[in-house]
Amino acid sequence: MKALKLSAVLVAGVFVLAASGLAYATDDPGTVKQEIASDKAAIQSQKSEMKEHAESAKSEETALKSQIKDAKQAGDKEKAKSLRSDLKKTHQDNVKDRRQDVKDLHEQRKENKQDRRAARQARRTGN
């Protein structure tokens, strides 16, 4: 979970740097195209990273459910109860991380859209 949060912060930092670099690169159309292509690639990489996170979260929750089932079958009610509370907390954390990932992706797409608009405007005005 901590790795998910760290990666989200790193990805957000990369996009802030890319967006700030775009402001200086508006004079050269080739550089603008490279920045936009870079932003698109970063968005695609974040989407695949989100899929990996979702798969790992699902497998983690499935493992906990399996442990709960085993504990119930063994008659260990206390362990099952403890595992259920762990599952609940894990699920809440996973949902929170997923929401943050979606929010970050939305921000990246918004920045990319603004960059494309700025490039289009620059081409129209002849800059």
Q: Mean pLDDT of successive 10-residue segments in the chain (127 residues)?
A: 54 53 53 83 92 95 96 94 96 96 93 88 81
What pTM value is reported for the model? 0.66
* pLDDT at residue 72 in the model: 94
How many angstroms separate the CA atoms of 62 and 82, rounded? 16
Q: State residue 62's pLDDT score.
A: 97
* pLDDT value, residue 11: 55
In the chain, where the domains are located: 2-125
Question: How does DSSP assign the chain, residue by residue?
Answer: -HHHHHHHHHHHHHHHHHHHHHHHSTT-HHHHHHHHHHHHHHHHHHHHHHHHHHHHHHHHHHHHHHHHHHHHHHT-HHHHHHHHHHHHHHHHHHHHHHHHHHHHHHHHHHHHHHHHHHHHHHHHHT-
